[in-house]
A and B are shown apart, each in its own frame.
Chain A
Amino acid sequence: MNNNHTFDINIKKSNGPFLLDCNFLVDGNSLSVFGHSGSGKTTLLNCIAGFVTPNEGHIFFTNKIFYHSSNNINLPSEKRRLGYVHQHAALFPHLSVIKNVEYGYSFTPKSERHFTPMELMSMLELEDIALRNISNLSGGERQKVAIARAIATSPNLLLLDEPLVSIDHKFRGGLIKKIKYINTELNIPMIYVSHSVSEVIALSDFVVMLENGKVVKLGHPSLLMDLNQSIYEAFENIIETKIIHQNDAGNTLVEYGNVKITIGKVDYGNGSVILSIKSSDIIISLDKPSLISARNVFKARIAEYYIKDDSVLVKCDIGSPLLAEITVEAFNHLDCKKGDDVYLIIKTSSIALLRD
């Protein structure tokens, strides 16, 4: 599998008064479809998966034709070789965890199989619950099983329909790590549907934004920063960090970009942890504070800023991006601009661990 894929989609699909009129051509490995409820993102995903037939147009993925109305091509779902992960997992209730994972594997031609169900069970840390009935699983476990089940078919493309939506906020870390791993290490391209800017930025390298069935933005996920505040939740930085050291006081030092961040005790994981830092919890200072209770003070450079109604989202570069959100008044008071050096201040208690 290669790392560069082409998503070439131009379709129209009407459903009552609603019309999905979607046209884009994107090269990448990880595409997000972003929009709020009713924008048409799930309809688009259903058309790509073959669950819904568009009225006209085409759906090409790299060198595969899934749908082409002019040539009367409409591959059925089972021939598209896509992994589909529904927001509520949609596991088969009559099968155990392992039987769910083996379901699609058994229909995959031997020559196309790249992973065994047991390898995937191990990768997603599901071995201990292999024989469990799926009614006894947590939300996170269900999604891991759904992902393992989809990957077991060695799909050409993974479709994820808001897979984190039914999972407790603080338990999303493991899944985010696994999805990134599947995308970048197993080289399985994906389309990730979400209404969370934070997730889109954390997980994809290209975004298509839909509004009322039409593409209104297309490009790097950071362009979502320009959106009006009302369209999305408070932004959180979802970042993968590397554990460097744990001290006796119960604090842990992790590395992200060029900086080392002090966080609370980490009693799990194997070298990396996913953190969530709300942009509004990051303080910006022009001077380096000398005596301050916050454990994390880093030098950063302002890479970009986005003015909204009453706040400014400041994209800071610390070797990797980190977004801080301050009021327009505070931003004007600091009188900073693109390229300026600033200090970012974050309390350890403002950093949440997204557990596995």
Chain B
Amino acid sequence: MDIILITLKIATVAILINVPIAIWLAYLLTKLGLKLRFIIEILISLPLALPPVVTGYALLIVLSPNSLIGDMFHRLVGQDIVFTWVAASLASAIVSFPLTIRPIIISFDNIDEILIRSSRSLGAGPYRTFINLIIPLSYNSILAGGLLGFTRALGEFGATIMVAGNIPGVTQTLPLAIYKKVQLGNDTGAFGLILLSLLIAVLSIGMHNWLITRSRITNT
């Protein structure tokens, strides 16, 4: 039970970090020129292409007690950030970010410029247009992005084990537990967790696809 709760906690926090940043960055991208946008989109997609272990290693350096961030965290909280569930959430957030932001970028790009102009001419400035038009029209895509990212965060392994280890009751998530059980030869225990992972994955992807379809219908 601990494993499931820890996994859900880490993935939920990861997505709570990701979604607002993804919405802001996706909106920023619609305002950028093609060249700058091209470069930023590559940076956004990097965690998807890089081995998660590399991302985890980079994060380990950035969060280590000798680094600025690690030092600040230690001063504030009184303990190191590495090998905690917070580090695991950060690792999951970074690795799942490309999947979270992608549907939101597509949705923002697909909003008809004429609708945005109409909103502006009706007295809504950029902020009000964003809140009253762009966000409601992208609602399903934001949910879908969040859900896809959440699913990815649930399954995160490589970056998490680098930066947060595999500590039972602290940072041991579902995939880390499966790995541990297989290593110890506990195939039955591993199989139960694999079935649980499969169920969560099917439900999440099904929900994601349903939301994307609804989003297409809403915007036409």
Query: Interface residues, chain A, CB within 8 Å of chain B?
Result: 49-51, 76-78, 80-84, 86, 88, 90, 92-94, 103-104, 107-108, 149-150, 153, 159
For A83, the chain B residues whose CB sits under 8 A away are 121
Alpha-carbon gap, A90 to B132, bound state (A): 15
| Nearest-neighbor residue (CB-CB) of A94 within chain B | B136
A49 in complex: contacting residue of B112, B115, B121, B139, CB < 8 Å: B121
In the assembled complex, B119 has its CB within 8 A of some CB on chain A: yes
Interface-lining segment among B30-38, B123-131, B187-195: B123-131
A107 touches B136 (CB 8 A): no
A86 B118 Cβ-Cβ under 8 A: yes
Q: How far is the CA of A149 from the CA of B122 in the complex (A)?
A: 8
From A84, A88, A92, A93, contact of B121 by CB (8 A): A84
Known: A49-B117, A77-B117, A86-B114. A93 touches B122 (CB 8 A): no
B133 at the interface (CB under 8 A from A): yes
Contacts of B122 in A (CB 8 A): 78, 84, 103-104, 107, 149-150, 153
Residue contact A78 to B123, C-beta cutoff 8 Å: yes
A-facing residues in B119-160 (Cβ within 8 Å): 119-125, 128, 132-133, 136-137, 139
Interface residue? B183 (CB, 8 A): no
Does B213 make an interface contact (CB < 8 A)? no
Residues of A within 8 A of B118 (CB): 84, 86, 90, 92
How many residue pairs link A and B with beta carbons under 8 A? The number is: 67
A92 contacts which chain B residues (CB < 8 A)? Answer: 115, 118-119, 133, 137
Question: Closest CB-CB distance, B117 to chain A, in whole Å?
Answer: 5
The interface residues of chain A lying within 8 Å CB-to-CB of B119 are: 92, 103
- Give the CA-CA distance A82 to B133 in the complex, in Å: 19
Q: A86-B114, A92-B133, A93-B137 are in contact. Are A76 and B123 (CB under 8 A)?
A: no
Contacts of B114 in A (CB 8 A): 86, 88, 90
User: Are B125 and A93 touching (Cβ within 8 A)?
Assistant: no
Chain B residues 99-117 with CB under 8 Å of chain A are 112, 114-115, 117
Chain A residues with CB under 8 Å of B218's CB are 93-94
> Which of A103, A150, A159: most chain B Cβ within 10 A?
A103
> In the complex, which of the residues B112, B125, B132, B219 contacts A103, with contact meaning CB atoms closer than 8 Å?
B132
> A272: shortest Cβ distance to chain B, in Å?
30
Closest 9 CB pairs of A and B: A104-B122, A107-B123, A77-B120, A84-B121, A90-B114, A90-B118, A94-B136, A78-B125, A51-B117
Q: Which of B124, B125, B137, B220 contacts A104 (CB 8 A)?
A: B124
For the complex formed, measure the closest distance between the CB of B97 and the CB atoms of chain A, giving whole angstroms: 27
Assess the A108–B123 pair: CB atoms within 8 A: yes
Interface size on B, residues (CB 8 A): 21
Which one of B115, B123, B139 has the highest number of Cβ atoms from chain A below 10 Å of its Cβ? B123
A150 to B128, CA, bound (A): 17
Beyond the given A50-B121, A77-B117, could you list 8 further A-B residue pairs with CB under 8 A, ordered by the A residue number? A49-B117, A76-B120, A77-B121, A78-B123, A83-B121, A84-B118, A90-B114, A90-B117
Q: Which residues of B contact A153 (CB under 8 A)?
A: 122-123
Complex Cα distance, B141 from A3, in Å, reads 48
Neighbouring A residues of B124 by C-beta, 8 Å = 78, 103-104, 107
Q: A82 with B128: in contact, given A94-B136, A94-B137 (CB under 8 Å)?
A: no
Determine the chain A residues whose CB is within 8 A of the CB of B121 once the complex forms: 49-51, 77-78, 80, 82-84, 104, 150, 159
A51 to B123, CA, bound (A): 13
Whether B219 pairs with A93 at a CB distance below 8 angstroms is yes
- The 6 sampled A-B contact pairs (Cβ below 8 Å) are A76-B120, A86-B118, A92-B133, A93-B219, A94-B137, A103-B132
Provide the residues of chain B in CB contact with A81, threshold 8 Å: 123
Min CB–CB distance B121 → chain A (angstroms): 4
**CB-defined contacts of A107 to chain B, threshold 8 Å:** 122-124, 128
Give the chain A neighbours of B137 by CB distance below 8 A: 92-94
In the assembly, what is the distance between CA of A104 and CA of B117, in Å?
12
Tell me the complex Cα distance, A177–B80, Å: 74
Q: Which residues of A contact B112 (CB under 8 A)?
A: 90
* Given A92-B133, A94-B136: A104 touches B219 (CB 8 Å cut-off): no
Closest chain A residue to B125, Cβ basis:
A78
Bound state CA distance, A77 and B119, in angstroms? 9
Residue from the set B119, B121, B132, B219 with the largest chain A CB neighbour count within 10 Å: B121
Question: Chain A contacts of B123 at CB under 8 A?
Answer: 78, 81, 104, 107-108, 153
A82's closest neighbor in chain B, by CB?
B121
Within 8 A of A (CB), among B202-220: 218-220
